[in-house]
Structure 1
């Protein structure tokens, strides 16, 4: 075991600067929030370079500004300072909600130091260094622990020539869209691009369902398997797709699609235009399946997190704060069948599952079904059938979150919710449609993926 390289030096709680009397003290959880109870939080962080010559003089003012601005922003995202509460219901069952009142203990703010690690050490490692997991607070927690742990905890880790800003946010509270909206708001307050006055009307960011959903349990402990929060022996690596390589991949994918014979007024339907993200997803699914060297009859599947905001009627605003996502999945198919398809045919399969949730009616049926038969996510469920699952989005405004420190040098994930086959998508730092894919695999599969010729044909930086 390698020597410890990250040392915690302080911890405090940040309270909202103000709490309007009219603000709710209780926020109900939706059918998109409650399934997150047994799994881990969102853990995302940003890497900033600051010259080692000036970092000692600048660090304390940076910390002070992050704290004061976080207090301001928490006034507009009050549930981030709350806690989970579960109450028993007369006649059986439970209600779980977010309590947000004067008795809150606020958001967590941690400081740490890693004075032997440089920005280059983090960026130039072949695989994501294991010490990066220590850049995040509350490793190994699950969302259920939001009953006594902060729903938001921030850690600033001092490096030789920079800082890492790591955030752990309870996934019951929000999804990736909400998380990066919060981060962009916080960044803009720090940078002086956004100002809130104490009497300014709060934007309608926080969701609040009209009626609570009753869970048919005596207590939530029956849902919890702490072994799922342990970090498996996996390697995660960032693979970069440049704008040019994505354009080349997308062109090949769309040229390989076979038009499906569907009679409509005696005319064949046109093949769908496959997006850049689904083109990359098809490449990754085929490449990981090939690298796993599975028997041809063994089943494989692909899961994709799908943002429902724009699919609702009326559409929910992009600033809706909460979970508003669903996991869409292919029907499990034999690995031999998948690898017999070309990239275009594989991408068409993925296009089909995304298109299947294109309207409000289907989504509301999911909601109604959950109310009558609640189900919960599990990491083992994500990995089932040799699953490859993609989360996050290259559309998130990651590199716009500068916090007055200039453009981040990188974005990284923590150890929460990782499994063999998980893919986390981010925009590339240079923009213009580039993408970074963080892929988590067993060491054996990763080694084969790194030698996969079809995959390498579209990777420009490893």
Structure 2
């Protein structure tokens, strides 16, 4: 089934980077605290259910449309929002996509912000005006691991890239509640998606880990044809 882009309503203005031109021909950047709020998008997809996103082994392409600021680079923060939130209504649930410029925070800062926002938003009927503003793997060797795959067809020039990991299973990704209950799952957006990219999140069950793997299609095909590998990950 083809899932087209959602219907979108955008509320602005938004926070961005300010620039100071120095006497020595260099530039200094700062967060322009202009009382602007976060870039907020409310969208609707009337032909997608929660299970359409969660059930497939490969992350559906529709997920790419559920995050704001796709393709925006960090240095574009001088004219693009530093923080954007997109709430998409599905048939039987909602998907909250949040994008933050890496210049103003790291992964820990992002999840602290997201959880703080959920605490301050809880109890309201809507969030159209949000108030925005062992290290990698557990030592338990029997912890369950769920691997949603993300195909990347355009980065053929990175076909020989090595594997690299981002995020952390120590981030509190399931600690938020916007008033709709705890999240059912966590997915990452298009940012930094390259052949060999592995994104690690804690799983919903205590002691578990979710791993999202981004590889070129031909590599996924080779893995699928390897029966021993598929059995070892329980697929």
Q: TM-score, normalised by structure 1?
A: 0.42
Structure number with the bigger relative contact order (C-alpha 8 A, sep ≥ 6) is 1
User: Which segments of 5 or more consecutive residues in structure 1 lack a partner in the other structure?
Assistant: 15-80, 193-205, 207-242, 250-275, 285-378
Displacement of 1:385 in angstroms is: 6.3
Aligned residue number for residue 126 of structure 1: 57
Aligned residue number for residue 141 of structure 2: 247
Once the two structures are superposed, the pairs formed by residues 125-144 of structure 1 within 5 Å of their partners are 125-144=56-75
Write the distance in 2 (CA, Å) between the matches of 1:434 and 1:248: 9
Once the two structures are superposed, the pairs formed by residues 23-422 of structure 1 within 5 Å of their partners are 82-102=15-35, 105-191=36-122, 247-248=141-142, 386-422=161-197
Q: After superposition, give the CA deviation of every residue in 1:199-232 in whole Å (9 maximum; x if it has no partner).
A: xxxxxxx9xxxxxxxxxxxxxxxxxxxxxxxxxx
Write the distance in 2 (CA, Å) between the matches of 1:452 and 1:400: 37
Aligned residue number for residue 437 of structure 1: 211
User: Which segments of 5 or more consecutive residues in structure 2 lack a partner in the other structure?
Assistant: 124-132, 148-154
Write the distance in 1 (CA, Å) between the matches of 2:69 and 2:7: 12
Displacement of 1:433 in angstroms is: 1.1
| Contact preservation (8 Å) 1:107, 1:152 | yes
Write the distance in 1 (CA, Å) between the matches of 2:200 and 2:225: 21
Write the distance in 2 (CA, Å) between the matches of 1:427 and 1:455: 22
Aligned residue number for residue 9 of structure 2: 10
Displacement of 1:118 in angstroms is: 0.3
Write the distance in 1 (CA, Å) between the matches of 2:108 and 2:74: 18
Q: Secondary structure at the match of 1:410?
A: coil
Q: Secondary structure at the match of 2:88?
A: strand
Over aligned residue pairs, what C-alpha RMSD do you find?
Answer: 3.1
Aligned residue number for residue 423 of structure 1: 198
Q: After superposition, give the CA deviation of every residue in 1:123-175 in whole Å (9 maximum; x if it has no partner).
A: 11231011111001121111122111211111111111011000111111111
User: Larger helix proportion, structure 1 or 2?
Assistant: 1
Write the distance in 1 (CA, Å) between the matches of 2:86 and 2:121: 16
Write the distance in 2 (CA, Å) between the matches of 1:447 and 1:404: 41
Q: Secondary structure at the match of 1:438?
A: strand
Write the distance in 2 (CA, Å) between the matches of 1:398 and 1:455: 28
Q: Secondary structure at the match of 1:186?
A: helix
